[in-house]
Amino acid sequence: MTTLFQRHEAVFKRAQQACETRECWSPFPEMPDKYPDAAKAKVAGLQAFEAHRAAGEFTLDQPGVTGWVGEEVSPYTQQPLGIRYPQSDLDTLFDAAERAMVAWADAPVQARVGALMEVLDTLYREHLFEMLHAVMHTAGQSYNMAYAGSGVNALDRGIEALVYAEQAMRSVTPRAQWQRRFGEAQITLQKTYRLVPRGVAVCFSCASFPTWNAWPSMIASLATGNPVIVKPHPATVLPMAITVRVFRRVLQAAGFDPNLVTLALDTVADPIGKVLVKHPKTAIVDFTGSVRFGHWVEQNAHPALTYTETAGCNTVVLESAQDLDAALRSLATTLCMFSAQMCTSPQNIYLPRDGVKTPQGPVPFDEVARRLAAAVQALTAEPKKAAMILASIQSPQTLALLKQLQAEGASRGKVLLAPAAYPHPEFPQARTSTPLMLQVTPAERDLYAQERFGPVSFVIACRDADDALAQATHDVRTEGGLTAFLYSTNEDYIARAEAAYARAGAQLTINLTGPMPLNFAAAYSDYHVTTLNPAGNATFTNLAFVVGRFGISQSRRPVAPGASHG
Amino acid sequence: MTTLFQRHEAVFKRAQQACETRECWSPFPEMPDKYPDAAKAKVAGLQAFEAHRAAGEFTLDQPGVTGWVGEEVSPYTQQPLGIRYPQSDLDTLFDAAERAMVAWADAPVQARVGALMEVLDTLYREHLFEMLHAVMHTAGQSYNMAYAGSGVNALDRGIEALVYAEQAMRSVTPRAQWQRRFGEAQITLQKTYRLVPRGVAVCFSCASFPTWNAWPSMIASLATGNPVIVKPHPATVLPMAITVRVFRRVLQAAGFDPNLVTLALDTVADPIGKVLVKHPKTAIVDFTGSVRFGHWVEQNAHPALTYTETAGCNTVVLESAQDLDAALRSLATTLCMFSAQMCTSPQNIYLPRDGVKTPQGPVPFDEVARRLAAAVQALTAEPKKAAMILASIQSPQTLALLKQLQAEGASRGKVLLAPAAYPHPEFPQARTSTPLMLQVTPAERDLYAQERFGPVSFVIACRDADDALAQATHDVRTEGGLTAFLYSTNEDYIARAEAAYARAGAQLTINLTGPMPLNFAAAYSDYHVTTLNPAGNATFTNLAFVVGRFGISQSRRPVAPGASHG
């Protein structure tokens, strides 16, 4: 009989190779149309999503259910999804998780790896398009992004986490024979090293991008033997409810206790986040979400370990360009992508006050700002194109923020581009907005030196090119930042920027133009979050993401009774 | 020209192999007499130590010196050492460390590994016996322990940390070429991955065992590119002052800024520990010392990373024995070793109330307790033998604790063995004490459910063998514990004990008798601290001990200008 590990061994080994070389690879087709039997899968996925809505209750056979909650509203229809989910008593979930952990932790590493590869493969084969609609109608992503960013890329990050977990565990030999003389005696000890899971992990997922962080976090905890309680944002439950159901079903079919993975739910009015973090049985917290709560978690979770990805200022420095229009087109695309509701979206664009150098001569600051705004406007003017790229706005709070920042920007700087709803061709009631672009100076730093979640960007007039780089990297260093983007034809300037951003801890993309989204982060290749600034302490994914999730307990004894008497 | 890495490559590779197999290995002779040209080295070491005393001032060419402090008292003479050390302004040390980091972080990994191997080798070749006397007259260890535990074993732990640091860094490829189609375009990116040190590390060393934790911690931080500020306990400065001087000299000779390693000093009256931990430039804290301050560090150091080793209840369970006398002799030896002033010393001995099984029939509880006390007394009755094993008492506070616990034990339990000073044959003024042994029941848990630093042990009458195991592992789980010791001839009981101690997180030694100290922890083989209970969160040493000390910053750009246009 083929084990689950054997079934997935070829893919797993190929993934190990990709993590080593960090070349481009994925076992999954990158576009929905390339999915096997795509037409049929698309129909079935939509039907599965609609079936959840029709049922109204999402059943999960987890213990301790005390009630039902559900307050999701589709950003595409602005109507409630109408799905209620079981809410379980937390102590019951923790107790069930601890019981489930015993046999799971005792299972061989390959058995866990095989079962988790099977979970990811099942998500891919049976639930990808169901997940796609669930993500669209909670997070508000476009069809293609829900497929790629929340589907196959998230699965890739899961496999990647599994590769590092297996690597970390494999580096500990399970046993050793140790022999040394003490005085006249020869002592021979047989040593056994056990990988012991830390305990119950709590995985928080966020409203706008639920699976991309949650799947690798869950896999990292589970691979190393820990059970996981998933706590989704109340606005985006369905993708994680489907996730939890699939994990439970596949783990149970593989012979394990399904309570290794359970769902903990709350409402906006009655949150349980702090209770979960401070629960005496919480051993690991994975958190993706707001800066404020993320920092609270980092400061208060002890003795639980924390893995966070929050946010910061993603910066752009535009010093000079070989092809300014191509650079501005790429920037404009990335500013618009999912209405900048990604943790990798650029926000702050630092330009020299005296303009950007090009082969045709310097282009004045005002003109660069105007042309960038025009490029954004061109992308968003036509509704069908706008829908593909901007998608929808996840939260009404984002629209309120746009309004507030537009007013502040108008009084303290200049509004380069005013936001407006655009009509979504497929969903006329969709919550939408074109981007807000503001022109400011470093005197308005309080406006931009923090993440402003949503389609907001700041074009910042700096003293000169050196000041632009210094301001940008300082803001990253102190306020956090995940990505950074540089355009320069000056190799000396590029080298200084690489060094400064490396130290500041933002992942830098240089002089990229063309159709690739500037903020595209490839699993197996791009390290996401350096951990070197306040934007988060968890890298997706590396050894540090996994090694703390287990400890090494050893026992040692003389090889044979009396053998230690020499 | 041979590089430093090449000079030490053979030893380093052999150490890598030992870390993989965890077999017994060390490049160093385990006893002082086996040191090359031992007689000469011993004389030179003593002279170097005496020269420090004669000089009265220990000069260090580090910046920002504002004054001189020194309040060490030798536990062997109970007289001040009379050495003063430079006290530097902390901001000056942090600034100098950050400046020193730049070139060090940019150096190739092999250059750092080579320089640090040279540091350890220099400590071994030129300072081992000087260090030995420095450790004796501050920590109070015996000559042999100061050589082994604070000398060669500590060097081994340093090499071990270097092996893991190099392994963790090597797992990140320095560059990759990444190629993917986006629509019609072929995008080819050259990616560069930089290992970026987290920042200034502060390394706290403790009074009774300064080098064993500090050396691997310093090496782990330095190998990954971080500078280190060393903060010794004010009672035990000299070993770390010598350490800092050697690191500075060797790193400077290798072409690096000596301010990579500096010394920060305080006094008992005017401590700087919290200031160091909360300093805005502190990025890493390594702490060995008291439970109270260790937990404060764990809770308050954020955003700095912490690596702690504090203490807990080290437990013994005695269920049955093939040779009870041999077991009791080994236990007695380990209870006496350095007057139980080691983080691995056993403290709580859990016995079934109805006695311990032996091939000759059950031995009643009272008799086992009495025979164990007699074995301890036998070891300590003869001053020369006592001096070899008990050495001296580092702190007068320990004598006060013995007095207090003897009184409490007499009123609430039974004093099995009363402590008394013994006359040290070489140092008549030495601060010494034979062990205090108390007999109690679990009703006196408040007396023993915490580390009682020094030669104190509790023989605890439990309901039965299962209760003994349950009590012991529960105390470890909740109060912390590093080591555990089990005697049983029942394989089923052993298996249950292994599982329970693995989960509780204490490193278990089973049925060991003979001349090897039960709590001997071998570098490259024994993992010290599981991180699974409150006794510390740092394992000496594994990948988790090193991977957090650096982040991965990447930059990526199209392979050739315009190549991204496909």
Q: At what angle do helices B109-139 and B210-223 cross, to 10 degrees?
A: 160
CB contact under 8 Å between B552 and A558, yes or no, is no
Q: A298 to chain B: which residues are within 8 Å by CB?
A: 302-303
Measured in angstroms, the CA of B553 and the nearest CA of chain A are apart by 5
Specify the 3-state DSSP secondary structure of B355.
Answer: coil
- What are the DSSP calls for B518-542, one per residue? TT---TTTPPB--SSSTTBS--BTS
Does A352 sit behind a cis peptide bond, omega within 30 degrees of 0 on the bond before it?
A: no
| A264-303 per-position pLDDT tens digit | 999 999 999 999 999 999 999 999 999 999 999 999 999 9
Taking all residues of chain B, what is their mean pLDDT, rounded to a whole number?
A: 97
- What are the DSSP calls for B214-231, one per residue? HHHHHHHHHHTT--EEEE
Nearest CA in chain A to B546: A544
CB contact under 8 Å between A509 and B543, yes or no, is no
| B420-462 per-position pLDDT tens digit | 999 999 999 999 999 999 999 999 999 999 999 999 999 999 9
Residue B489 main-chain phi, psi, to 5 deg: -105, 5
Q: Is the dihedral of CA A150, A156, A160, A162 positive or negative?
A: positive
| A474-486 per-position pLDDT tens digit | 999 999 999 999 9
| Residues near A179 by beta carbon (within 8 Å), at least 6 away in sequence | A186, A187, A188, A189, B23, B24
Does A541 sit behind a cis peptide bond, omega within 30 degrees of 0 on the bond before it?
A: yes
CB contact under 8 Å between A561 and B322, yes or no, is yes
Residue B200 main-chain phi, psi, to 5 deg: -70, 130
pLDDT at residue number A1: 81
CB contact under 8 Å between B512 and A556, yes or no, is yes
In the predicted structure, residue B566 carries a pLDDT above the cut 50: no
- What are the DSSP calls for B385-454, one per residue? HHHHHH---S-HHHHHHHHHHHHHHHHHSEEEE-------SS-TT----PPEEEEE-GGGHHHHSS---S
pLDDT at residue number B561: 47
Give A321's pLDDT tier (boundaries 50, 70, 90): very high
In the predicted structure, residue B485 carries a pLDDT above the cut 70: yes
pLDDT at residue number B1: 81
Q: A284 to chain B: which residues are within 8 Å by CB?
A: none
Measured in angstroms, the CA of B558 and the nearest CA of chain A are apart by 6
Out of A173, A177, A516, whose CB is closest to B187? A516
- Distance separating alpha carbons of residues A366 and A351, to the nearest angstrom: 10
In the predicted structure, residue B15 carries a pLDDT above the cut 80: yes
Instruction: Please report which residue ranges of A56-139 form alpha helices under DSSP H.
Output: 90-106, 109-139
pLDDT at residue number B564: 43
Average the pLDDT over B10-36 and give the result: 97
Nearest to B485 by CA among B303, B244, B304, B315: B315
Q: At what angle do helices A109-139 and A210-223 cross, to 10 degrees?
A: 160
Fill in the amino acid letter for A431.
Answer: R
Average the pLDDT over A347-372 and give the result: 98
Out of B508, B526, B554, whose CB is closest to A507? B554
pLDDT at residue number B211: 98
CB contact under 8 Å between A534 and B176, yes or no, is no
CB contact under 8 Å between B512 and A302, yes or no, is no
CB contact under 8 Å between A21 and B527, yes or no, is no
pLDDT at residue number B152: 98
Fill in the amino acid letter for A255.
Answer: G
Q: B167 to chain A: which residues are within 8 Å by CB?
A: 171
Q: Confirm if A344 and A483 have CB atoms less than 8 A apart.
A: yes
Q: B534 to chain A: which residues are within 8 Å by CB?
A: 303
CB contact under 8 Å between B554 and A20, yes or no, is no
Out of A198, A516, A530, whose CB is closest to B532? A198
Length of chain B: 566
Q: B557 to chain A: which residues are within 8 Å by CB?
A: 509-512
Question: How far does CA A390 lie from the centroid of its chain?
Answer: 19
Q: Confirm if B451 and B311 have CB atoms less than 8 A apart.
A: yes
Average the pLDDT over B234-256 and give the result: 98
In the predicted structure, residue B351 carries a pLDDT above the cut 50: yes
Q: A531 to chain B: which residues are within 8 Å by CB?
A: 198, 548, 551
**Could you tell me what percent of chain B has a pLDDT over 90?**
98
Measured in angstroms, the CA of A52 and the nearest CA of chain B are apart by 34
In the predicted structure, residue A565 carries a pLDDT above the cut 60: no
CB contact under 8 Å between A510 and B556, yes or no, is yes
Nearest CA in chain A to B16: A171
pLDDT at residue number A566: 36
Average the pLDDT over A12-41 and give the result: 97
Q: B171 to chain A: which residues are within 8 Å by CB?
A: 167, 542-543
Give B563's pLDDT tier (boundaries 50, 70, 90): very low
Give B218's pLDDT tier (boundaries 50, 70, 90): very high
In the predicted structure, residue A441 carries a pLDDT above the cut 50: yes
In the predicted structure, residue A161 carries a pLDDT above the cut 50: yes
Q: B558 to chain A: which residues are within 8 Å by CB?
A: 511-513
- Distance separating alpha carbons of residues A412 and B303, to the nearest angstrom: 34
Measured in angstroms, the CA of A561 and the nearest CA of chain B are apart by 8
pLDDT at residue number B565: 42
pLDDT at residue number A337: 97
Question: How far does CA A526 lie from the centroid of its chain?
Answer: 12
By DSSP bridging, strand B85-88 and strand B185-197 are unpaired
pLDDT at residue number A560: 72
Task: Determine how many CB atoms are found less than 10 A away from the CB of residue B25.
Answer: 18
Does B396 sit behind a cis peptide bond, omega within 30 degrees of 0 on the bond before it?
A: no
pLDDT at residue number A482: 97
Measured in angstroms, the CA of A257 and the nearest CA of chain B are apart by 19
Give B544's pLDDT tier (boundaries 50, 70, 90): very high
Taking all residues of chain A, what is their mean pLDDT, rounded to a whole number?
A: 97
pTM over 0.95: yes
Cβ-Cβ contacts under 8 Å between A and B: the total is 235
Average the pLDDT over A146-163 and give the result: 98
Find the largest Cα–Cα distance for chain B: 88
pLDDT at residue number B560: 72
CB contact under 8 Å between B548 and A544, yes or no, is yes
**Tokens linked to A253:** 């079919």
Q: B513 to chain A: which residues are within 8 Å by CB?
A: 558, 564-565
Out of B20, B178, B525, whose CB is closest to A525? B178
Query: Mutation test of the interface with chain A: which of B555, B559, B564, B565, choosing the one with the most A Cβ atoms within 10 A?
Result: B555
| A191-249 per-position pLDDT tens digit | 999 999 999 999 999 999 999 999 999 999 999 999 999 999 999 999 999 999 999 99
- Distance separating alpha carbons of residues B125 and B237, to the nearest angstrom: 21
Measured in angstroms, the CA of B506 and the nearest CA of chain A are apart by 7
Measured in angstroms, the CA of A31 and the nearest CA of chain B are apart by 10
**Could you tell me what percent of chain B has a pLDDT over 70?**
99
Q: A522 to chain B: which residues are within 8 Å by CB?
A: 178, 180
In the predicted structure, residue A392 carries a pLDDT above the cut 50: yes
pLDDT at residue number A21: 97
Tell me the CA distances in angstroms from A32 to A41, A42, A144, A372, A434, one per residue in order. 10, 8, 7, 31, 26
How many CA atoms does the CB half-sphere of A513 hold within 13 Å? 19
Nearest CA in chain B to A299: B302
Average the pLDDT over A31-45 and give the result: 97
Residue B482 main-chain phi, psi, to 5 deg: -100, -45
CB contact under 8 Å between A171 and B543, yes or no, is yes
φ/ψ region of A2 (left if φ > 0, alpha if ψ in -120 to 50, else beta) reads beta
3-state secondary structure A469-517: HHHHHHHHHHHCCCEEEEECCCHHHHHHHHHHHHHHCCEEEECCCCCCC
Measured in angstroms, the CA of A357 and the nearest CA of chain B are apart by 16
Nearest CA in chain B to A169: B543
Out of B494, B511, B542, whose CB is closest to A558? B511
Measured in angstroms, the CA of A86 and the nearest CA of chain B are apart by 32
- What are the DSSP calls for B480-505, one per residue? --SEEEEE-S-HHHHHHHHHHHHHHT
Tell me the CA distances in angstroms from B366 to B321, B352, B371, B374, one per residue in order. 16, 10, 9, 12
Fill in the amino acid letter for A438.
Answer: L
Q: A225 to chain B: which residues are within 8 Å by CB?
A: none
Out of B22, B530, B534, whose CB is closest to A191? B22
